[in-house]
Chain A
Amino acid sequence: MMEIIQSKHWVEWLITICKFGFAFVPVIFILLLIPLERRGAGFIQDRQGPNRSYFKIPYFGRIRLFGWVQNACDGLKLFFKENYSPSGVNKFIFSIAPAIPFAIVLISPCVIPWFAPMVFTMGDEVIRISGQTVDTEVGILLLFGLSSLSAFGAVLAGWASKSKYSLLGGLRTSAMTISYEVCLGLSIMGILLLVGSFRIDEIIAWQEANVWGIVAQPVAFFCFLIAMIAETGRAPFDVAEGEPELVAGFHTEYGAMQFGLFYMGEYSHIGINSILVACLFLGGYSVPFVTTETIQSNIGISLAVLCGIFVVAILAFLHLLYRYARWYKKSAASNKQVILREYSLYKILGWAAVVVFAVAGVASALFFHPQFTVIDGQPVYGIGVALGTALIHILVLLVKAIFFCWIWIWVRWTLPRFRYDHVMNLGWKVILNIALVNLVLTALIAKLLGGI
């Protein structure tokens, strides 16, 4: 036991344990995705979206957080409702089914690499820490296996509910998962062929060294994205829920937090899937046009650029806020004072953040000149540089993932839903064939050009 503990430096242990926190990233994505979906849907339909609820802060006033509070209230409502089940259901399966998709989502981020492998010196030792929580050769296969397991939740729920709508929904889920898993697997075979590995960190390293997957495999990217959207079971592929046909599909009989778990499972599934698409086709954590070595050798400048991006983003936000406040001041709204008071808080926080980030950026650009030791012809830096690089990598990955989250929402609120036979046609007759042809062509071209 002591040998295992002493085989690693305590910093290595600490970071390894901290990496388990990444299991909760898809869950945190829910907090982002639900407001993004509801406000985004509102804006797409020229509405305002939910913006009513507020927190009351003593001696200050009301905080609406741009409508975010509404989602918290809805979650709270689901949490305190009665757990209801119809008579005659299989109680055990009925109550365990909603937990399956949600539990799967907690496991699946384990193979996602969140940052390039850390190499740094600590005293005399050189410490290497990989970017993913579980460092395994199967990589993406494990992720696919886990994400197709989450269909079990829907299937078991459909079967246990003792309702024909639920059963049909469950059946459709299983059929769709099977057909789109095939497309999913085949469409990334091209890029796996080019990289020659199942490990996601090697796929990202290949993209960093050559080009992004979306450039190397554009057709595969579209096939993969469509199959991914279909696999999460959202519109335009929501045949499993099928509002016009099946009431609500497999979760017809569910209410309260059991329904909430399905809901959260779906959203965190979107989160994990968009992280995966970002990893496979958008270069994952790699910063465009900049290699990890460049970042590490100019870490002060890199962090300064990061701070600069933050400052620009906050200034853009403040601009919108000021303009909206100006309009609100002129309007005849009866709650003008309350809203403007809330905005004044955001203005203060925003300007404070601008100052903090500007100072931090200038300081890091001027004073952060790390020491390095050359080991095997490669410069190896200290822990500060390693953590700074990891921070940049994580943020880049999250930005790419959030972009794909928006694509999920955008597609859902744009395209009309497909009929069940259209979905199957698209899966088996179109996307599968395109993916196969793409695979063969990739193999041919790779053989002719690269001679792999």
Chain B
Amino acid sequence: MVRQIKQKPMNWIERLYIFEAFRGLWTTLKHALRGLLRYETLPTVPYPEIKPEISRTYRAKHRLMLRPDGTPRCVACGMCATACPAHCIFLEAAPAEDGRIEKRVLRFDIDHLVCVFCGLCVEACPVDALRMDTCDTSYVFRKREDFVTPMYQLMSWDPKDYPQDDLQSQMAPGGTKNKQALDAWGLKVN
């Protein structure tokens, strides 16, 4: 559908330009005085010193979710690697020792230089083992190889950094729901 926008014709005061220019000057003066006299109310933040608040739904760096005993929830099905449009997930599988699970993951690397942060891997995961809610947006390294994040780094997150109502995170070792979850899981880790 074509939407036709009718512009209101300018009246003669507006066409004189000088009065409209003064109105514009008044607008910018208000902004300038706000910056000068109410500097702390500026919408920008001095970045590295004050970090902006990042929502949990923001697609940031990945993390691998953990079972109550600390092993990755990943069942090495390879759905994430298949879904990945940038082909940046590399995983290897092995038979699991736990009888209830078919496979476990041996290697799970994400190349964050290649990753496009589309979140399709998170959508694809059938067991909710992969999430992008770390709010970690700035990670800087000197070498390209360092951007390939190995599995142990993806797994090294702290349940204390995540909200209480995030049950999946609190079930991990160190979380508040870990003990209950361990009982339900039926395994005691020595």
Which A residues are closer than 8 A to B by beta carbons? Answer: 39-40, 42-49, 51, 222, 320, 323-324, 327-328, 331-336, 410-411, 413-415
Measured in the bound complex, the distance between the Cα atoms of B39 and A47 in whole Å is 10
Interface segment out of the listed B44-52, B103-111, B115-123, B130-138: B44-52
Contact assessment for A46 and B31 in the assembled complex, using a CB-CB cutoff below 8 Å: yes
Contact assessment for B50 and A44 in the assembled complex, using a CB-CB cutoff below 8 Å: no
B9-34 CB mask vs A (1 if < 8 Å, else 0) is 00000000010010011011101111
Contact assessment for A410 and B48 in the assembled complex, using a CB-CB cutoff below 8 Å: no
Contact assessment for B50 and A43 in the assembled complex, using a CB-CB cutoff below 8 Å: no
Contact assessment for A44 and B28 in the assembled complex, using a CB-CB cutoff below 8 Å: yes
Q: Which residue of A lies closest to B43 (CB)?
A: A46
List the A side residues contacting B44 at CB < 8 Å.
Answer: 46-48
* Cβ distance B40 to chain A, nearest Cβ, rounded Å: 4
Q: Which residue of B lies closest to A236 (CB)?
A: B21
Question: With contacts A42-B35, A48-B42, A327-B40 known, is A333 near B24, CB below 8 A?
Answer: no
Q: Which residue of A lies closest to B22 (CB)?
A: A414
List the A side residues contacting B31 at CB < 8 Å.
Answer: 43-46
* Cβ distance A433 to chain B, nearest Cβ, rounded Å: 14
Which B residues are closer than 8 A to A by beta carbons? Answer: 18, 21, 24-25, 27-29, 31-37, 39-40, 42-44, 46, 48-51
Measured in the bound complex, the distance between the Cα atoms of B51 and A47 in whole Å is 16
Question: With contacts A43-B34, A44-B31, A410-B32 known, is A334 near B25, CB below 8 A?
Answer: no
List the A side residues contacting B49 at CB < 8 Å.
Answer: 333-336
List the B side residues contacting A324 at CB < 8 Å.
Answer: 39-40
List the A side residues contacting B42 at CB < 8 Å.
Answer: 43, 46-48
Question: With contacts A46-B42, A47-B42 known, is A414 near B36, CB below 8 A?
Answer: no
* Most interface-central of A39, A42, A46 (chain B CB within 10 A): A46
Contact assessment for A43 and B36 in the assembled complex, using a CB-CB cutoff below 8 Å: yes
Contact assessment for A51 and B46 in the assembled complex, using a CB-CB cutoff below 8 Å: yes
List the B side residues contacting A222 at CB < 8 Å.
Answer: 18
Question: With contacts A48-B44, A51-B46, A327-B40 known, is A43 near B24, CB below 8 A?
Answer: no
Contact assessment for B25 and A414 in the assembled complex, using a CB-CB cutoff below 8 Å: yes
Contact assessment for A410 and B39 in the assembled complex, using a CB-CB cutoff below 8 Å: no
List the A side residues contacting B39 at CB < 8 Å.
Answer: 48, 320, 324
* Cβ distance B16 to chain A, nearest Cβ, rounded Å: 10
List the B side residues contacting A411 at CB < 8 Å.
Answer: 25
Q: Which residue of A lies closest to B41 (CB)?
A: A327
Contact assessment for B28 and A413 in the assembled complex, using a CB-CB cutoff below 8 Å: yes
Q: List 29 A-B contacts (CB under 8 A).
A: A39-B35, A42-B35, A43-B32, A43-B36, A44-B31, A45-B31, A46-B31, A46-B35, A46-B42, A48-B42, A48-B44, A51-B46, A222-B18, A320-B39, A323-B40, A324-B39, A324-B40, A327-B40, A328-B40, A332-B50, A333-B46, A335-B49, A336-B49, A410-B25, A410-B29, A410-B32, A413-B28, A415-B21, A415-B24
Q: Which residue of B lies closest to A45 (CB)?
A: B31
* Cβ distance B68 to chain A, nearest Cβ, rounded Å: 33
Contact assessment for A410 and B28 in the assembled complex, using a CB-CB cutoff below 8 Å: yes
Q: Which residue of B lies closest to A332 (CB)?
A: B50
* Cβ distance B29 to chain A, nearest Cβ, rounded Å: 7
6 more contacts with CB within 8 A, not counting A46-B31, A47-B44, A414-B28, are A42-B35, A43-B32, A320-B39, A327-B40, A415-B21, A415-B24
Measured in the bound complex, the distance between the Cα atoms of B21 and A225 in whole Å is 14
* Most interface-central of B24, B25, B35 (chain A CB within 10 A): B35
List the A side residues contacting B37 at CB < 8 Å.
Answer: 320
List the B side residues contacting A39 at CB < 8 Å.
Answer: 35
Measured in the bound complex, the distance between the Cα atoms of B175 and A291 in whole Å is 79
Measured in the bound complex, the distance between the Cα atoms of B35 and A410 in whole Å is 14
* Cβ distance A221 to chain B, nearest Cβ, rounded Å: 13
